[in-house]
Amino acid sequence: MFGCPESDEYGWSTGYINLTLFENSRNFIWNDDDLFTFEPHILGPYTQHAMQMNFCVMKSNITILDDDGDEDDKVNRTWPPGNYCIYRTGEECPFGFNEGSLNIRGYNYSLGGNLPHMLFDSSSNFALVYCCREDGKVDQSVHLPSEFPFFLYLGPSTEKCQEIDKMDWKLDEFYLPYDNNSWLDELLPNFLSHPTHTSHIGLPLCYYQPIRKRECMYKTDDGASYNGQLNVTKYGNPCDLWTNVTLDFTSNTQWIGEFENNFCRKTRLDPPSCYINSTRSTCNIPECEKDSLSVFGKGRSYNAAKHDEQNMPSYVLDGLIRTGPSYVSERPSSKPWYLLNLEEYIEVHAIVIHRQKVWYPLNNRYVGTYVSKHRWDFLTYGAYRCDDNRNPWKHKIFRFQCKRPIIGQYVSVKNYDITDPGHEEGFLHYFEIDEIQVLGRSTMCGRRLGLITGDVYDYQIESSSHKDHDHQFTFGRLFRPENGWCAKPFDNVPWFMVDLIVPLKIQGVELQGIKAGQNVKLISSFNILYGIDRNNLATYEDPKGTIK
């Protein structure tokens, strides 16, 4: 959920395949846990009847970091020996790998972007093609990128994930409806070594994340979000293990924080520190490099989990910090959330949460932060994570620093603390936020072009026909009180066209249905045509050759 293993300069590209079960099919199960505590690492979105598989693709072992022709800027990389699997991307597997395939049947599918090699034999059947190797010891650490989290498939002959330098791993399984093991062909990830649900198969995914943490602190929150591994005081004395510190906040469950091993952490006092013989001692943690980021959020639109009238969600974006009331979710509420609409594409670097009330039951002990280009992606695991799920503990300011800048329009915050609604029902924690500040840079993209605001005038809009006076093309705008646009019943090729006057880069099209009483009219499918000559429009394709 954090993107590809390395930055874009290394030549990574992305693609996806959307899988939709037929209406009479069973639902996805996804995982081996209950649906309440399920918090996946793999990017979606996925629902009970559909999912999106996302891919990071690199089609060359030679990466050119600079295009000036200098041989020193070329990196020639090979896959190390080991016991793991990857997707095939070229005409054949890399040296040292053997090929296998998993046939996927019974889905409607659509494709986009750059994809690994797949085999298609009908509108509902295709095969994922794997490259696997088992020529090394799984416990012998190998060198692969270690800057960002990523996935490999479990090797063909192992129950453990391949060890990788500077990375921790966790074995995840993602389940797909599946009926016949004979559809497994040649050398594959170790599918059959793990329990499967009835008529499902678990894809064995090894999730890797860097061991190394950020070794600096931000003054924004006075080091509250520091989770590095410094474990000596500013005088060079080794810190005691937190488990040996006999203070209330290290043992009481209402005070649990990110107190790992003997690493320096910010407690109720500033700055980050540790304890020696129950005596607090300050740690010398350098300040992170200052960046020239703008603050976004104030006055923007939002959505939020249920609340009471005294704690409105609008308070989160009023620009007032520790002045006046804050937003508090209703109770009980499992996984309460808050969604901020930035109303344009922002390159998000960090999300800062301000709070007023940090005592039980207003605990935020397992908080996720997400950035996406679509409003509800965070509810279906289709949004990119900014930071790991973190524990803000009793801190009134906490900075979620994104692992890498993420471009998106929507920022969401979700509290996962006590996610099982069957456990002490009625005693789930409240979710309280005083203010959200998004730190980043404007991309000057993603802004609405004027069909809502009226900056696109009626004379710029045309249509093939209109049903009647109440459904004219001038009503084809979002959030208008009129009935919207509708073509004549016998218009066999209906179209709706907007003249933007000057050439622009279009990043998306948003549609809204028509609701009249109990009746709702929605568009089931459409094509997008574009161009600078109305008599010579091209159909949008993604990937090239596939009409979107």
How confident is the model over 100-113, as pLDDT tens digits? Answer: 998 887 788 888 88
pLDDT at 421: 47
Mean pLDDT throughout 204-224? 93
pLDDT tens figures, 334-380: 788 999 999 899 999 999 999 998 877 676 778 999 999 999 999 88
From 25, 26, 2, select the one nearest 14 (Cα to Cα). Answer: 2
| Stretch (H or E) spanning 248 | helix 248-251
Question: Is pLDDT of 444 > 90?
Answer: no
pLDDT of residue 424: 58
Number of neighbouring beta carbons within 10 Å of residue 250? 18
221, 285 Cβ separation under 8 angstroms: no
CA dihedral 221, 227, 228, 230 (to 10 degrees): 80
* 40 pLDDT above the threshold of 80: no
pLDDT of residue 522: 83
249 pLDDT band, cuts 50/70/90, is low
Which helix (H) or strand (E) element contains residue 405? strand 397-415
* 3-class DSSP assignment, residue 441: strand
Residue 503: C-alpha distances to residues 447, 530, 531 (Å):
15, 10, 9
Is the distance from CB of 161 to CB of 171 less than 8 angstroms?
A: yes
Q: What distance, in Å, lies between the first and last C-alpha atoms of the chain? A: 25
Bridge partners, residue 132, by sequence: 85, 98
Q: Look at strands 83-87 and 167-177 and give their pairing.
A: unpaired
Tell me the per-residue pLDDT of 58-80, one tens digit each, with 9 for 90 and over. Answer: 877 665 445 555 555 555 678 99
* Residues 14-41, mean pLDDT to the nearest whole number: 70
Q: State the pLDDT at residue 62.
A: 60
Q: Is residue 418 pLDDT above 60, yes or no?
A: no
pLDDT at 159 (0 to 100): 92
Section 16-29 average pLDDT: 76
- Please give the model's pTM, rounded to 2 decimal places: 0.84
Identify the weakest region by mean pLDDT among 47-51, 126-130, 238-242, 315-319: 47-51
Least confident stretch, 180-184, 218-222, 256-260, 329-333: 180-184
How large is the average pLDDT for residues 526-531? 93
In the chain, what are the domains? 8-210 (no CATH), 213-290 (2.40.20.10), 294-445 (2.60.120.260), 453-548 (no CATH)
Quote the pLDDT of residue 20.
86
> Which tokens belong to 316?
């989160």
Out of 4-13, 178-187, 334-343, least confident range: 178-187
pLDDT band at 192 (very low <50, low <70, confident <90, very high): low
- Is residue 269 scored above 80 in pLDDT? no
470/452 Cα distance (integer angstroms): 18
User: What is residue 254's predicted lDDT score, i.e. its pLDDT?
Assistant: 47
d(Cα 372, Cα 153) in Å, to the nearest integer? 26
**Residue pair 450/500 in contact by the 8 Å Cβ criterion:** no
In this prediction, residue 103 carries a pLDDT of: 85
Q: Is the preceding omega at residue 271 within 30 degrees of 0, hence cis? A: yes
Contact 128, 89 (CB under 8 A): no
Task: For the chain, give the mean pLDDT.
Answer: 85
Q: Higher model confidence: residue 154 or residue 27?
A: 154
What is the predicted pLDDT for the residue at 364? 75
Under 8 Å between Cβ of 317 and 300:
yes
Which of the listed ranges 126-130, 328-332, 408-412, 511-515 does the model predict with the highest average pLDDT?
408-412
pLDDT over 90, % of the chain: 49
Which residue type occupies 331? R
* Neighbour count for residue 57 (Cβ, 10 Å): 17
Mean pLDDT within 216-231: 94
User: How many angstroms separate the CA atoms of 349 and 291, rounded?
Assistant: 10
Residue 272 predicted with pLDDT over 90: yes
- All residues at 6 or more sequence positions from 112 whose CB lies less than 8 Å from its CB, including other chains: 15, 16, 17, 18, 542, 543, 546, 548
Q: pLDDT value at position 423?
A: 56
Which pLDDT does position 64 carry in this prediction? 47
- Beta carbons within 10 angstroms of residue 65's beta carbon: 13
> Per-residue confidence at 251, pLDDT binned at 50, 70, 90?
low
